[in-house]
Amino acid sequence: MNIDAIIDQLGGASAVQALLGVGPSAVSNYRIRGAFPEYARVKIWQALKARGVQVDPETLELIGAVAEASSPQTTASTAASSTASSAASSGGVTAPSILLIISGGIAAYKALELIRRMKDKGWQVRVIMTKGGAQFVTPLSVSALSGEKTYTDLFSLTDEAEMGHIRLARDADLVVVAPATANIMARMAQGMSDDLATTAVLATGAPILIAPAMNPHMWANPATRANAETLKSRGMRIIGPDSGDTACGEEGAGRLVDPMAILSMAEQMLPGQTPLKNRRIVVTSGPTHEPIDGVRYIANRSSGKQGQAIAEVLARHGAEVTLISGPVDLPPPAGADVIRVTTAKEMLSATLNALPADAVICAAAVADWAVDGAGKAKLKKTPGQPPALTFVENPDILATISGHPQRPKLVVGFAAETETPVAHGDDKRRRKGCDWILANDVGAEAPVFGADDNQVHFITAKGAVTWPRMTKHAVAEHLATEMIKELTHG
């Protein structure tokens, strides 16, 4: 494997960091070793596939620049069922391959509708049913709709010969667990692998979408809530459940969401999808440096990692992204145009120049003050007479954009707070006139600056939702999901 060529194809080291949720030193180590860790192989294969670069899924050897009709699925799974190859390729474009896990519960019958809708899209759908799932719908009816063998037993030697369970997990572009019972969510959160379904979840490198369905009391139980939070913090998406009458006769949140909603979320999560195509988005990021004289400046600890992750993820969703970055020690993110600036004033004028846009996200840690009268000459030290610096207020970029005649449809800010982040964040949202604020706690107990993960409260006019602590890349993915809803659904 030519690891440098693969890193280039993925958009450089920062893109690989964002993709795998690792730091720069990890990528340097991969280069030195000449190999990626085993767990990352499928993610890399999928990311390359999404960029039209074909590689051998086992060895990651580059096969060609653009995917041809022989899809990776078909070359990889030589013993896959005969219907797989016809479903997976059409006209040189590889159709997405979905692994659908149906766990027990009365809502399992709705999975049949979901399979039908996925097949209508031309997707390949392979299904694993848990023992509980098979009590509600038969593998035969599932196979009739999916056109594939339905997998139910971890230890079936025939299945192993035809399609090893690890391959089943790794060939998927997306894993959908629908309906997901409290039991399978608990087992997934614990990392168990006591049946084929949970083994596949552990072995996959694909994104995972979970659609819970259960009794409202079970959903409300703190144990289930904690499991849901754990799964989310690992980057899995949860859709629903809906509220209303449930099959057990009790009312409350617990119904499986409509299969069409699952389908639409699944579509967004597929690698290579571009729901933000034709949308222009401007992201500010990093610190600003405010000169004291020709050689000194005032700065802050912002690393720029969160803004870069946002720019990278939005570009991957098809947006035309301009990243306006203060001085940072990061390579440019894949897919975004980067404008480098130093001071708050420069950042404001670059942001105004980038308008009109559909959205502006102000993730930069802009200095509130600039040194009054800072010149080019170095201030000389006069013993016993420290200079008395005076400051002038910097322009507020977020507030300026929010009140601008060319205000984008969506303006998003961040709020770094050391106490009561939700209250202060919401106050900032109103004061600055933006639509959403991502408030994070930057107190001594909660390191954010320079860290790879972040804990944010997502604040809108409708209220605040606390997202679990997750990687900055996962925060960017969550934000992108909200933005896709806002910018593409009216």
Q: Which residues are catalytic?
A: 248
Q: Is 394 in the site for ligand CTP (CB under 6 A)?
A: yes
- For ligand CTP, which stretch binds (CB under 6 A), given 138-146, 160-168, 360-368, 377-385? 360-368
Instruction: Residue 162: name the closest of 100, 71, 84, 98 by CA.
Output: 84
Q: Is 396 in the site for ligand CTP (CB under 6 A)?
A: yes
Instruction: Residue 174: name the closest of 98, 94, 74 by CA.
Output: 98
Kindly tell me which residue out of 58, 160, 251, 368 binds ligand CTP, with binding defined by CB under 6 A: 368
Kindly tell me which residue out of 111, 362, 456, 487 binds ligand CTP, with binding defined by CB under 6 A: 362
Kindly tell me which residue out of 415, 422, 474, 483 binds ligand CTP, with binding defined by CB under 6 A: 415
Q: Is 142 in the site for ligand CTP (CB under 6 A)?
A: no
Q: How far is CA 14 from the centre of its chain?
A: 15
**Contact letters for ligand CTP, residues 66-95 (x by CB under 6 A):** ------------------------------
Q: Is 344 in the site for ligand CTP (CB under 6 A)?
A: yes
Residues 207-246 that bind ligand CTP (CB under 6 A): none
Nearer to ligand CTP, 136 or 449 (CB): 449
Instruction: Please report how close the Cβ of residue 295 comes to ligand CTP at its closest, in angstroms.
Output: 24
d(CA 175, CA 165): 14
Count Cα neighbours of 299 within 13 Å in the Cβ-side half-sphere: 15
Q: Is 127 in the site for ligand CTP (CB under 6 A)?
A: no
Kindly tell me which residue out of 407, 413, 454, 478 binds ligand CTP, with binding defined by CB under 6 A: 413
What's the per-residue H, E or C state across 13-41?
HHHHHHHHCCCHHHHHHHHHHCCCCHHHH
Instruction: Residue 171: name the closest of 36, 42, 67, 78 by CA.
Output: 42
Asked whether 129 and 142 are in contact (CB, 8 A), the reply is yes
Nearer to ligand CTP, 44 or 397 (CB): 397
Residues 189-208 that bind ligand CTP (CB under 6 A): none
Q: Where are the beta strands (DSSP E) in 293-419?
A: 297-298, 320-325, 336-340, 359-362, 369-371, 391-393, 410-417
- For ligand CTP, which stretch binds (CB under 6 A), given 53-61, 210-218, 260-268, 410-418? 410-418
**Contact letters for ligand CTP, residues 1-20 (x by CB under 6 A):** --------------------
Q: Is 286 in the site for ligand CTP (CB under 6 A)?
A: no
Instruction: Residue 96: name the closest of 274, 261, 266 by CA.
Output: 266
Q: Where are the beta strands (DSSP E) in 181-313?
A: 208-212, 237-238, 242-245, 251-255, 280-285, 290-291, 297-298
- For ligand CTP, which stretch binds (CB under 6 A), given 34-42, 60-68, 372-380, 409-417? 409-417
Tokens matching residue 70? 């022989």
Instruction: Residue 306: name the closest of 394, 468, 438, 435 by CA.
Output: 438
Kindly tell me which residue out of 197, 364, 475, 479 binds ligand CTP, with binding defined by CB under 6 A: 364
Q: How many residues form the binding site for ligand CTP (CB under 6 A)?
A: 15
Q: Is 108 in the site for ligand CTP (CB under 6 A)?
A: no
* Identity of the residue numbered 260: M
Q: Is 100 in the site for ligand CTP (CB under 6 A)?
A: no
Kindly tell me which residue out of 30, 219, 414, 436 binds ligand CTP, with binding defined by CB under 6 A: 414
246 Ramachandran zone, left/alpha/beta (phi>0; psi -120 to 50): beta
Residues 428-487 that bind ligand CTP (CB under 6 A): 428
Q: Is 354 in the site for ligand CTP (CB under 6 A)?
A: no
- For ligand CTP, which stretch binds (CB under 6 A), given 77-85, 191-199, 308-316, 393-401? 393-401
- For ligand CTP, which stretch binds (CB under 6 A), given 105-113, 273-281, 364-372, 449-457? 364-372
d(CA 51, CA 94): 12
Count Cα neighbours of 38 within 13 Å in the Cβ-side half-sphere: 2
Name the residues that contact ligand CTP, by CB under 6 A: 284, 344, 362, 364, 366, 368, 394, 396-398, 413-416, 428
